[in-house]
Chains A and B, each alone.
Chain A
Amino acid sequence: MIHENPRRIEYWLAALACFVLLTACPPSGDDGTGTPPPPDGTPPPPGGTPPPASAVNVRQEIHSLTPDQIDAYRQGVALMMQRADTDPTSWIYQANIHGYPSSSSICAVTPGPPQEAWETCQHGQFFFLAWHRMYLYYFESILRSAVREATGNPQAEFALPYWDYEDAAFHALPEPFRVPADSSNSLYVSRRAANCNNGATCVSAAQASATTALGLVPYCNCPPGQSCPGGTPEAPGCVQNLFPDETFGGQFTPQPVHLTNTFGELESQPHNVVHGAVGGNFGWMSYVECAARDPIFWLHHANVDRLWQVWLNEGGDRANPLGVDSWKQEPFVFFDENGQKVEMTACEVLNMATQLDYEYAGVPVQNVTLCDDAAPQGVAPPPPPPPAPTTLAATEPGAVELGADATTVAVNVPEQSLVAETAGRLRVVIEEVELVHPGAVYEVYLNLPAGTEPDPESDYYVGHLAVFTGVHEGQDAVTGQRSFDVTDKVEALRASGDWTGRVELTFVRGNPEEATEGLAAMPETFLRFSHISVVRR
């Protein structure tokens, strides 16, 4: 469904406010850089006029740039493209930080050995947004320096534009990137989807939509079956029991990962979708190892970076995961405009205006908490409990003792309970397990036929029961549960006609020992439990 873009309204309100204040916004007819033209009426130098020393660089929507600004931009890109591939300020070196090809089937292999920081982009997990913000920041610094050098104006202003493809007027690839379609235009790349380079719709309204992502509150999720560190109301952690695309920023990882498929919603759409829409089958944008060679890559990622702030501005408990140390503290390597190696962490890129001296036109920097201002890392609140299991059957509580000999416990499972509800997994639970004497490991079998030799390689084996020992005298015993998923085994029994309506567990000691001379007699009991139950979870 096509919808109005509320952020456009925000943009015009901000523009109106700027105009009224007569501070940063240009009067009609000037160069759009935020600085009034010289009083004598002479045109500003290429690349615009210098901002005040403390000014924040304003990243503008690409369609807002003046022809002079586009020209200066092209000159800066062309200069970077002329530099040696081993120069960290060159176009290829910067693109290869994202990824580099191992064959020339899509884009040309870079001669020579891989250089430092190449192929370090972060995708498919929760470093995605922070890493790309750092990447863009240093690229922008390098390009600004190149614009100044190429235009001969050491004070020229430059901020990386963004492409707001969600705006109904901007679904086509911006014209400066496709016209003229020849080598005189450093922003043009032939390897794009044909509809993009011919000026037709490149990214449709549906493909461009960030509505779903912006509506999500959690920044990140914990991987299935894992818990994540940290988490307080002031410094949130990642949320359990969610898929990555039920979060804005993606899945927790304890360390950087170049490529995985656990995309957060913003990375799924619009990020992934726009890469495919622009690149098509064989275009550079579709390929991690070639994408950053296409100049439109940087405008796409500037828009994704802008959406991160737009999301924060939506409020309503949206917050960066400042309770997760790995997210905050992991350093990533880049190069500045002098070619000097630098390291940066997510803590250093949270507030684009005060920490990185840029912002997006029409997007105020709000609802940003810095690492130092976040509450110290506390104990994670307990995750929401999974839905309570439904007990289908259970034996009477009592004391079942496990010693050297095999023990069998059985419970009838009403057929009605099995067929009435088939959702969820069937588990058998050994309840209130208590250690009596350490050292025994039991093999557990489901419905082992009489006379059948217990074999942990057989289909009847469901797992082991063993208890780790701790010795604390004078305290009450602590009991626990041990459970096994028997869904597939029960289904197999039913399919083969061997299902008797009973779940029968047989416990066989898996590490029997012969009595050793000189040592104490073999204990009669190693483990005790109360009963078994069958649940559906």
Chain B
Amino acid sequence: MPMKVWIVIPFVLSLAAAAMPCSPERSGTLAASEKAVRSLGNEPVTVAVRLPESVAGDASRRLRVVVEGLELVHPGAVYEVYLNLPEGRKPDPEGPYFLGHLALYGQPVGGEPDGRRSFDLTDKLAALRESGDWTGEVELTFVRGNPEQAPARAAPAEFIRFSHISVVERQR
């Protein structure tokens, strides 16, 4: 006679769990900058995050940088995003430091900013390592890519807002 037992079916999630569910995306986060309100307007903005040494020194990892908490404030701006652009170097979207573009399209929607824009770092970090310029710090510089020439109206001071940048790992 088998023992009488209860079978456990799914667990009820905690009613007011303080612990946040661990989403698959977040589980791969290796480093993140401080959260703050960061505004992109007409001047360049730079944000950096230092990777743990064990990550920075491991060339086999495939890393991706994520601009988190994106929010559209005013439409119309296109930003060029650069990785570790040396001081004094002219931003050039045809140059080796260019990662890609950031542009939002839509309307300010309110609520919790949930937009993200991500870029693969694999090739760029390999190039930095090869040239000896890799410091273990991921530094993004945002430069407006479509500044208005002789605008009829003053440009808005702020187009896009974000909270922080993070670096995640992807499988090779």
Q: Which residues of A contact B153 (CB under 8 A)?
A: 281-282
Chain A 465-484: CB-based contact to B (< 8 A → 1; otherwise 0) = 11111111111111110101
Chain A interface residue count, CB cutoff 8 Å, equals 86
Q: A204-B93, A280-B148, A484-B19 are in contact. Are A286 and B14 (CB under 8 A)?
A: no
Residue contact A225 to B66, C-beta cutoff 8 Å: no
Residue contact A194 to B150, C-beta cutoff 8 Å: yes
Count chain A CB atoms within 10 A of each CB in B54, B76, B98, B117 and give the residue with the most.
Answer: B76
Residue contact A277 to B12, C-beta cutoff 8 Å: no
A247–B15 CA distance with the chains assembled, in angstroms? 35
Q: Does B70 contact A (CB under 8 A)?
A: yes
Chain B proximity of A273: nearest CB distance (Å) = 5
Residue contact A207 to B22, C-beta cutoff 8 Å: no
Classify chain B: how many residues form its interface, as a range: 35 or more
Residue contact B151 to A464, C-beta cutoff 8 Å: no
Residue contact A269 to B146, C-beta cutoff 8 Å: no
Residue contact B93 to A386, C-beta cutoff 8 Å: no
Q: How many A-B residue pairs have CB under 8 A?
A: 231
Q: Does B118 contact A (CB under 8 A)?
A: yes
A465 closest partner in B (C-beta):
B14
Q: Does B36 contact A (CB under 8 A)?
A: no
Query: Within residues 33 to 64 of chain B, which ones have a CB less than 8 A from any CB in chain A?
Result: 52, 54-55, 64
Residue contact A206 to B98, C-beta cutoff 8 Å: yes
Q: Which residues of A contact B12 (CB under 8 A)?
A: 466-468
Q: Which residues of B contact A282 (CB under 8 A)?
A: 76, 152-153
Q: A287-B75, A466-B11 are in contact. Are A124 and B94 (CB under 8 A)?
A: no
Residue contact A205 to B145, C-beta cutoff 8 Å: no
A470–B5 CA distance with the chains assembled, in angstroms? 10
Query: Within residues 96 to 153 of chain B, which ones have a CB less than 8 A from any CB in chain A?
Result: 98, 100-101, 103-107, 109, 113-118, 145-146, 148-153
Q: Does A193 contact B (CB under 8 A)?
A: yes
A482–B64 CA distance with the chains assembled, in angstroms? 30
A456–B150 CA distance with the chains assembled, in angstroms? 59
Query: Within residues 5 to 24 of chain B, which ones have a CB less than 8 A from any CB in chain A?
Result: 5-12, 14-24
Task: From A268, A466, A485, give the contact of B103 (CB < 8 A).
Answer: A268
Q: Does B31 contact A (CB under 8 A)?
A: yes
A286 closest partner in B (C-beta):
B76
Q: Which residues of B contact A286 (CB under 8 A)?
A: 75-76, 105
Q: Does A173 contact B (CB under 8 A)?
A: no
Chain B proximity of A260: nearest CB distance (Å) = 7
A271–B101 CA distance with the chains assembled, in angstroms? 11
Chain B proximity of A278: nearest CB distance (Å) = 9
Q: A282-B76, A282-B153 are in contact. Are A467 and B25 (CB under 8 A)?
A: no
Chain A 169-211: CB-based contact to B (< 8 A → 1; otherwise 0) = 0000000000000000000000001110000000011110000
Chain A proximity of B29: nearest CB distance (Å) = 7
Main secondary structure, interface of B, reads loop
A271 closest partner in B (C-beta):
B105
Residue contact B72 to A261, C-beta cutoff 8 Å: yes
Residue contact A423 to B54, C-beta cutoff 8 Å: yes
Residue contact A477 to B28, C-beta cutoff 8 Å: no
B9 closest partner in A (C-beta):
A470
Q: A286-B76, A466-B12, A479-B8 are in contact. Are A272 and B105 (CB under 8 A)?
A: yes
A364–B28 CA distance with the chains assembled, in angstroms? 40
Residue contact A1 to B8, C-beta cutoff 8 Å: no
Residue contact B6 to A281, C-beta cutoff 8 Å: no
Q: Does A246 contact B (CB under 8 A)?
A: yes
Q: A206-B93, A387-B28 are in contact. Are A288 and B115 (CB under 8 A)?
A: no
Q: Does A486 contact B (CB under 8 A)?
A: yes
Chain B proximity of A99: nearest CB distance (Å) = 8
Q: Does A259 contact B (CB under 8 A)?
A: yes
Task: From A386, A464, A470, give the contact of B6 (CB < 8 A).
Answer: A470
Q: Does A433 contact B (CB under 8 A)?
A: yes
Q: Does A14 contact B (CB under 8 A)?
A: no
Q: Which residues of B contact A225 (CB under 8 A)?
A: 21, 23-24
Q: Which residues of B contact A441 (CB under 8 A)?
A: 15
Residue contact A475 to B116, C-beta cutoff 8 Å: no
Q: Does A49 contact B (CB under 8 A)?
A: no
B69 closest partner in A (C-beta):
A261
Q: Which residues of B contact A471 (CB under 8 A)?
A: 6-7
B75 closest partner in A (C-beta):
A286
Q: Does A241 contact B (CB under 8 A)?
A: yes
B55 closest partner in A (C-beta):
A423
Chain A 229-247: CB-based contact to B (< 8 A → 1; otherwise 0) = 0000000000011011110
Query: Within residues 75 to 128 of chain A, which ones have a CB less than 8 A from any CB in chain B?
Result: 123-124
Q: Does B78 contact A (CB under 8 A)?
A: yes
Task: From B11, B78, B116, give the contact of A273 (CB < 8 A).
Answer: B78
B113 closest partner in A (C-beta):
A261
Q: Which residues of A contact B156 (CB under 8 A)?
A: 281
A195–B78 CA distance with the chains assembled, in angstroms? 14
Chain B proximity of A259: nearest CB distance (Å) = 4
A459–B115 CA distance with the chains assembled, in angstroms? 30
Q: A207-B78, A259-B109 are in contact. Are A434 and B8 (CB under 8 A)?
A: yes
A254–B121 CA distance with the chains assembled, in angstroms? 32
Q: Does A262 contact B (CB under 8 A)?
A: yes
Residue contact B8 to A485, C-beta cutoff 8 Å: no
Residue contact B101 to A281, C-beta cutoff 8 Å: no
Q: Which residues of A contact B101 (CB under 8 A)?
A: 206-207, 268-269, 273
A312–B169 CA distance with the chains assembled, in angstroms? 28
Chain A proximity of B103: nearest CB distance (Å) = 4
Q: Which residues of B contact A243 (CB under 8 A)?
A: 25, 64, 66, 116, 118
Q: Does A420 contact B (CB under 8 A)?
A: yes
Chain A 404-444: CB-based contact to B (< 8 A → 1; otherwise 0) = 00000000000000001111110100000111111001000
Q: Does A279 contact B (CB under 8 A)?
A: yes
Q: Does A462 contact B (CB under 8 A)?
A: yes
Q: 17 A-B pairs, CB-CB below 8 angstroms? A: A193-B146, A206-B94, A243-B64, A260-B106, A261-B71, A261-B113, A276-B146, A282-B153, A287-B107, A288-B75, A386-B27, A423-B169, A435-B7, A466-B11, A469-B9, A477-B7, A485-B20
3 smallest beta-carbon distances between A and B, as pairs: A261-B115, A464-B14, A286-B76
Which residues does A use to contact B, with CB under 8 Å?
1-2, 123-124, 193-195, 204-207, 212, 224-225, 240-241, 243-246, 259-263, 267-269, 271-273, 275-277, 279-283, 286-289, 384, 386-387, 420-425, 427, 433-438, 441, 456, 461-480, 482, 484-486, 537
